[in-house]
Structure 1
């Protein structure tokens, strides 16, 4: 007898080749073809994060939008940090947060600024009366032709967004966080199986794994859990903004499931790590990679 309730993960989302396309960084959702799925129509909350107060960097689009929608539907208050050039995406995400019954907090600015990172934490604490969930998700990547072709200023951009900002944000947030709080970083399959075309991005993602594990050890006695999610190839604005249009028709096909993932397929991982269901999980890296091993 066939169970018609089962969903084949190899065909749950599109398996068609992504068309060649390119955007200037950081990329916008409305210019993507096809449009990503952030769980707008599919994610069903169960109030597992009722009353929690969350700050999500890169919360305007991609994985960050999926997490913001899920957290809001689970009952959390949600602040999203994003670049001013991403305002259109941020307003779309804010509408989904509002539809879940909570008032969104929109915080534009540049994460490369230490002061802005401090301000993000302060504004979230002031608006919500505290901070319980910190999702360090924002990242920058660009296609690299070789180690001799990495501009120093762009290398510094990658490192400041992907590494400096998480340190700045955690340093500001931890003194405000109580036992039961949670920090979640977004690392990557690139941190374990790096591509030479993303060498500097991969370096930062590997470093975030060490950051996650070290911070989990430090904060464990205080009852603050620290974990990471390691996405594989996920269809977000970061991909057409990376500068490899010729790669897109094959994007995600090197996974055992044979396709790229959608942002919605990561939301449950973040909700789990943020919730009391993961009360004994800290220092973990949860892969959401379509079957590619870490």
Structure 2
């Protein structure tokens, strides 16, 4: 039952996507990332003070790489959400486990098994099917942007794993990530312009920040108390919730080919995570 916190996280992250899509009428993707990150800095700083954790770090270089990779992924995801059906954008971003499985062999030197190759191939076959309706709608480039968001997210997760191995706390990792995002996007906006904030648009920003923060807290609770494989599988509930919300709010009815592609992405991603976990467990016992 504790793993079901991941369902809460999935719904919250899909809700964040809704607020991003609604907020695109008032703000650019850079502004949305800035406000999302600014709230994240505030919340994580309060948590660090509450738990009396240290803010000092000796691993600035790794934090910077994690921050820049995560920022790139978030910017591309937010842009993709504003241009494509919500479920399509979320599904393309959720290719990150496929890229992560590849990076684990290239960067972390973990062994690549044929079963893992098959799972990765299955997932990317799903990407091709998902992008077929997108290609027909002349949104091919935007689809590749969504795929790139998954690529950068995988790099960010690699850096998170490195930081965890170096002894950095979860709150510290999230704090520096949101701080880097806020500083980079805030500097860019100071050199360009901020869009005016109205009462309605401010409520959308608060909704985006609240759902993102609650999703992160539920995600943390799920991984802390639940079974990792069950949590990983339930993480794909974000795709389902995004599909349902997209249909309810914008009447985004996807063709059968797109649904098939989404299913293969979810299956390939889950199998990649499952097989990677099994391979690491067997290697550890050996």
Q: Which has the higher helix share?
A: 2
Indicate the structure whose relative CO is greater, using CA pairs within 8 Å and at least 6 residues apart.
2
Q: Which has the higher strand share?
A: 1
Q: What TM-score do you get using the length of structure 1 for normalisation?
A: 0.29
